[in-house]
Amino acid sequence: MAMPFEPGQRVDDFVIDACLHSGGMARIYSVHYADPGRHFEFPLVMKVPRMTAADGAENLVGFEVERQILAVARGAHVPRLVAAGDIALPYLVMEYVAGATLQDWLDAAPRRDPAEIARIGALVAGAVHDLHEHRVCHLDLKPANVLMRDDNEAVLLDFGLSWHAQTPDLLADGQHIAVGSHPWIAPEQIVGVRGDPRSDLFALGVILYEMCTGELPFGDPQTTGGLRQRFWMQPRPPRQINPDVPEWLQEIILRCLEPKAERRYASAALLAFDLSHPGQVRVTARGRADRGPGFWRHFLRWLRRRATYQPSALPSPGLARVPIVMVAVPHDDVREATLEALRQAVRRGLGNRPGARLACVTVVPPVSPVGDAGRPNGVELHQRMLTRLREWSGSIGPGDHAVSCHVLESSDVAQALLAFAQTNHVNLIVMGAATHGLQLQRFVATVPVKVAMHAPCTLMLVKPSP
């Protein structure tokens, strides 16, 4: 293993084609099966950890961690694992994913349009949420480890430092404190805390900051003291560096960069939601700031936190899955009994889970922008329904829940609701049950039936009291 493989060399069942990448931890080769009768519908690459005398045991540990993670994390956001070698000849053969990394994207243009940054950020946050659903924390997110596929999906790479809830954590001993890429590592990782999904949200905040400004919020520290500055140091607001950054995007970024994990987003799905719906982001002084704190404020933060930083408690499995609840509110012909039944169902769905989000959605038919005689135009109808949704959501009652209202325009109500739920990682859909009899529903698929047939999550159908 001291020398790299050569094109044409056979490694177990595979033949080396070419070296695609040679990094500090591993080499990547394109490969194919030696048996011409065996093939996959996608191209293959082989990842081989460096194992020379100058390389430490971390490379081999990282190989074993990545093998464990790829065996359990499945879906569109991770490469598919095909084969793995043993400890004597370690390698991973996996799907080759075509596309460009976010590092390529940054190198091509350090600053982009905020809407494009938010769109890409939402895709990456969605990929991270999918990973967290498999009970995996990446813990080494950075632009070079995020690839945008040709079909515009985000794929996460390099799981050598990751953590899984149901496999032994090979990096959990005292020799591996602060393991990770220094510019993106979360404060709790610096003191050796692993397994908090909110650590990945901190790294996403660093990535978004760099996408907006072309700079790293905490630089690239090479010492423990430099790393610990993020316990107390508040980075310059992105708007101070790039005035074109909107307030809502700065609000999102700085929330991700909070030193205490409990003050960040509770889940990657909630982060993706805000990035996808900027008009629903509640902007505070954090988002409006155009300059960072002065010397004395930083000095006081340093005095308070330099020796007393305590990481946030790890979220329990129940709290880690902070739900996004979507309620479908009919736009016309609605009885008060129906609205009250929906209110009660939403209260049950939200429960006492702090941080849960409620998305109130109504679907209206396509309307001419100028309107017809005696009918409102599209803008008027949209504003009217938005006002009605806000009034209705306000009647649900107080709670520690973010609420947003959305008016969708579609001639297919069921499809519009399903698409919203799928795109926004909704955990629970609440909607009224069909009022037609079962006999009629055998012949006519009502909106609730269509949603029930294809819902990507739990569905709660409610009927008003007679």
87 and 111 within one domain: no
Contact between 159 and 73 (Cβ < 8 Å): yes
172 and 231 within one domain: yes
Torsion sign across C-alpha atoms 67, 54, 228, 254? negative
Three-state SS at 325: strand
Contact between 170 and 162 (Cβ < 8 Å): no
Query: How many structural domains is the chain composed of?
Result: 3
CA distance 326 to 155: 27
Identity of the amino acid at 92 = L
> What range does the domain containing 56 cover?
10-95
439 and 349 within one domain: yes
Query: Which residues pair with residue 149 across a beta bridge?
Result: 99
Contact between 187 and 198 (Cβ < 8 Å): no
Question: What is the secondary structure of 353-398 as a DSSP string?
Answer: -TT-EEEEEEEE----SS--TTS--HHHHHHHHHHHHHHHHHTS--
438 and 369 within one domain: yes
Determine, yes or no, domain membership for 44.
yes
pLDDT tens per residue across span 418-429: 999 999 999 999
pLDDT tens per residue across span 52-99: 655 556 677 888 889 999 988 888 899 999 999 987 888 999 999 999
pLDDT tens per residue across span 22-59: 877 789 999 999 998 888 889 999 999 887 655 556 67
pLDDT tens per residue across span 150-184: 888 999 999 989 999 888 887 776 445 567 789 99
Determine, yes or no, domain membership for 4.
no
- The average confidence (pLDDT) of the chain is 85
Q: How confident is the model at residue 435 (pLDDT cuts 50, 70, 90)?
A: low
CA distance 299 to 273: 35
pLDDT tops 80 at residue 295: no
pLDDT tens per residue across span 43-52: 999 999 887 6
H or E element that contains 430 = strand 428-432
CB neighbour list of residue 343: distance below 8 Å, 6 or more residues apart = 392, 395, 396
Determine, yes or no, domain membership for 162.
yes
**Rg (alpha carbons) of the chain, rounded to whole number:** 25
308 and 184 within one domain: yes
Q: What is the CATH number of the domain that holds 48?
A: 3.30.200.20
pLDDT tops 60 at residue 278: yes
Separation in Å, CA 83 to CA 13, 29, 50, 451: 9, 14, 18, 39
CA distance 287 to 88: 53
CA distance 137 to 135: 7
pLDDT tops 50 at residue 329: yes
- Out of 318, 338, 358, pick the residue that ends a domain: 318
Q: What percent of the chain has pLDDT over 70?
A: 86
- Out of 301, 318, 335, pick the residue that ends a domain: 318
Active site residue 17: no
Catalytic residue among 13, 17, 35, 140: 140
Q: What is the CATH number of the domain that holds 194?
A: 1.10.510.10
Question: What is the secondary structure of 398-427 as a DSSP string?
Answer: --S-EEEEEEEE-S-HHHHHHHHHHHTT-S
Mean pLDDT computed over 336-342: 88
Determine, yes or no, domain membership for 336.
yes
Strands 428-432 and 324-328 come out as parallel
- Out of 318, 349, 369, pick the residue that ends a domain: 318
83 and 110 within one domain: no
Provide the residue count of the chain.
466
Mean pLDDT is highest, among 225-234, 261-270, 302-311, for 261-270
Contact between 440 and 423 (Cβ < 8 Å): no
* Confidence at residue 62, expressed as pLDDT on a 0 to 100 scale: 83
Determine, yes or no, domain membership for 2.
no
CA distance 240 to 182: 23
346 and 292 within one domain: no
244 and 303 within one domain: yes
Q: Where are the alpha helices (DSSP H) in 214-294?
A: 224-228, 238-241, 247-256, 268-276, 285-288
Mean pLDDT is highest, among 2-6, 277-281, 303-307, for 277-281
Q: What is the pTM of this model?
A: 0.88
H or E element that contains 207 = helix 198-213
User: What angle separates helix 198-213 from helix 114-133, to the nearest 10 degrees?
Assistant: 160
63 and 179 within one domain: no
237 and 139 within one domain: yes
CA distance 459 to 426: 10
The torsion of the CA quartet 187, 189, 192, 195, rounded to 10 degrees, works out to: 130
Determine, yes or no, domain membership for 3.
no
Of the listed ranges 217-231, 286-300, 420-434, the least confidently predicted one is 286-300
182 and 220 within one domain: yes
149 and 24 within one domain: no
